[in-house]
Amino acid sequence: GESVGLHLPTLSVQEGDNSIINCAYSNSASDYFIWYKQESGKGPQFIIDIRSNMDKRQGQRVTVLLNKTVKHLSLQIAATQPGDSAVYFCAENRGVLMGSSNTGKLIFGQGTTLQVKP
Amino acid sequence: EPEVTQTPSHQVTQMGQEVILRCVPISNHLYFYWYRQILGQKVEFLVSFYNNEISEKSEIFDDQFSVERPDGSNFTLKIRSTKLEDSAMYFCASRDTSYEQYFGPGTRLTVT
C-alpha cells in the first residue's frame, strides 16, 4: 500500500544541538526518497534526496540515512538553528513509468514539527 | 533563482461554484503536478501532467477536477463544483528531467 510515515509528530531541541527526524516507509521497491521542509504558510522546500543504491548522503548541515533492511529513513540536522524550525516531511517517489519517463508522483509522510529552543 | 508561482494566494468560494487555481511553473520544466494539503495533514498527490496530458492521477482527482496548460507558461487546476471537503492548500510543483520537484507557495481554498 501507499504508506510513508514519521515516528514523532513534534521534536523539540536546543539551539546548537543536533536533530534527528525519522521516517518509516512500507514499499521495499521504492528507489528514491526526499526530505522536504515546510515553513508556516509556505510550500514544501526541497532539502535533500537519496536513491536506494546509497546508504548515506550529506548536504550542508544535513545528512540523510537510508536503511533498506528495516525500511527506515532519517534526516540529521547538525547544529540546529532557530531558522530550522518547521515541519519536515519525508516523501517517496512512487511514480510509474510512462514511456521512457517516470511520472514522479510523490507520497508524503505525516510530518514532524521541529521546534528549536533558543 | 527561478521559482514556481501560484495565484491567488487565497480563494474563498461558495459550495457548488467553480474555481480555477493558477500556477506558473519554472520555465524550462517539463513535468507538472498538483498536490493538496488539508489543514494539519500531510501533502497528498492529485495529478501529474507531462507532454500535454495527464500521466497519473490519484483517487481524489475525480471528474470534478481537471487540469490544463492553456499556453506555454500557465498550468491550471479547475474544480467544477466545489464541496466543503475541497477546502485545503493546493500546491503546484514542477520539475525537469531530475526527480526534484519545486513547489509553489500554494493557494488556500476555502469553500463555505
pLDDT at A110: 86
**Set of cell numbers at residue B51:** 507532454
- Asked whether residue A8 carries a pLDDT value surpassing 80, the answer given is no
The reported pLDDT for the residue numbered A105 is: 93
> How high is the pLDDT of residue A3?
52
Computed from CA positions of residues A24, A27, A29, A35, in that sequence, does the dihedral angle turn out positive or negative? negative
By percentage, how much of chain B surpasses pLDDT 90?
A: 86
Lowest mean pLDDT among A58-67, A104-113, B6-15: A104-113
Per DSSP bridges, beta strands A19-25 and A72-77 are antiparallel
Pick the residue from chain A with its C-alpha nearest to B6.
A43
Residue A16: pLDDT over 90: yes
- A109 and B42: CB-CB below 8 Å? yes
pLDDT of residue B72: 80
Beta bridge partners of A97: A102
What would the pLDDT profile of A18-64 be if each residue is shown by its tens digit? Answer: 999 999 988 888 889 999 999 988 899 999 999 999 999 999 999 99
Which residue of B35, B93, B99 is in closest CB contact with A32?
Answer: B99
Shortest Cα–Cα distance, B34 to chain A (Å)? 10
Using a CB–CB cutoff of 8 Å, tell me whether B100 touches chain A: yes
- Average pLDDT for residues B25-50, to the nearest whole number? 94
Identity at A78, one-letter amino acid code: A
Chain B residue nearest residue A96, CA to CA: B56
CB A73 within 8 A of CB A17: no
Query: DSSP letter at A80?
Result: -
**Band (B44; pLDDT cuts 50, 70, 90):** very high
d(CA A59, CA A17): 17
Q: Which amino acid, residue B99?
A: Y
Q: What is the pLDDT of residues A64-78, one digit of tens each?
A: 999 999 999 999 999
Name which of A88, A108, A110, A113 to mutate to probe chain B: the one with the most chain B Cβ atoms within 10 A of its Cβ: A108
pLDDT at A6 over 70: no
- Give the pLDDT confidence score for residue A7 in this predicted structure: 54
B87 vs A26 pLDDT, higher one: B87
pLDDT of residue A2: 47
Closest CA to B21 of B78, B74, B87: B78
